[in-house]
Chains A and B, each alone.
Chain A
Amino acid sequence: MALKPLWRRMTVGDRLLVSGLILFCVFFLSLRSFRAAGVHLIVEQNNQVTYKLALDTDRVINLDGPLGPSNIVIEDGAVRFIASPCPNQVCIGMGCASKSGDLLACVPNRLLLRITGRSGRDLDYDLITR
């Protein structure tokens, strides 16, 4: 394959470095798939928790940040950004979050979406506003 001359250009140190980093990534990314499905979505705006929502109800939510409104959607137990006023649209590119401990952030618009798993107490409400 055409990769062979490229491989030959690398020193042993390069190869060790790259394989070490790949292992690091694979290890931490695979940890994700072992986590339990999330139960709640926590919305933090400006480092303050503003909403706690159940993930089993499908809905579209409008969140106001300093740049303007960001839209998130909860669908089939997963949450994702669908619209955002931020310049690079990183948050939309982050895709879906559904597992406990997952995180979506829109840094320019100061939004942080966190998924939590089943906690000790079961909530009997589906939305809290603070």
Chain B
Amino acid sequence: MTSSPVDPLRLERTRRYIFLALLATLATAIHTVEYLFPTPAPWFRFGFANIFSVLALYLFDFRAAFTVTLTRIGFASLLLGRIFSPGFFLSLGGGLAAVALMSLACHLGKRYFSPIGVSVIGAVGHVFGQMLLAWLLLVQHPGLWSLFPFFLFFALVAGLINGFAADFLLQTIRRHPSFSEAPTNRPTESL
């Protein structure tokens, strides 16, 4: 695939743009469709879009994961007509907390956690971020936190499912020529 004489740094950057654009688009589409789908309980979402944040985190770095997440929440909220509504801020808080925790877990605990564990941490972060924002914006009541284990349990299930999906996807995507090159061909990190 890289037989043409092209600046490897530029190639790398272009690949990154294209993959991030694809991941962000898929995440936006899934986020939107998930909101239109009926769910067993009205507040319950699987958060499948988080799979793509995990992918960006593992294929690239934490900045890529933030890019994908912010793009997804921004565009999906625009499409759903709920931008700047309380629900949007809850999404945003949850998403940011999830990516922040996942980045930390991925950088500090790469030896201990697979993408599955990182996705579960992301789900926990999502619940935590949402509750924190709900606390700050809507209800300042200590009783809010008594709901935490309840939501955490469902987040755990969703995080596990997303984690397995992300793990399978990563395995597949890493076979793509863009990622399966020998490390010597890849440009070293510059500045």
Contacts and interface: CB of A to CB of B under 8 A. Distances in A.
B150 interface: yes
Interface residues on B, range: 35 or more
A87 B81 CA distance: 12
**Secondary structure type dominating chain B contacts:** helix
A10 B146 contact: no
Contacts of A12: 112
Interface residues of A, number: 33
Contacts of A10: 114, 116-117
Contacts of A108: 86-87, 138
A98 to B, nearest CB: 14
Contact of B44 (A25, A93, A103): A93
A19 to B, nearest CB: 10
Nearest to A11: B114
Given A18-B156, A21-B152, A88-B43, A9 B164 contact: yes
A89 interface: yes
B5 interface: no
Contact of A107 (B42, B86, B143, B152): B86
A90 B143 contact: no
B183 interface: no
A92 interface: yes
19 contacts: A9-B116, A10-B114, A10-B117, A14-B114, A14-B163, A18-B117, A18-B120, A18-B156, A18-B160, A24-B152, A25-B149, A25-B152, A25-B153, A28-B149, A87-B87, A101-B143, A103-B147, A107-B139, A108-B86
Interface of A: 6, 9-14, 17-18, 21-22, 24-25, 27-29, 44, 47, 87-90, 92-94, 101, 103, 105, 107-108, 110, 112, 114
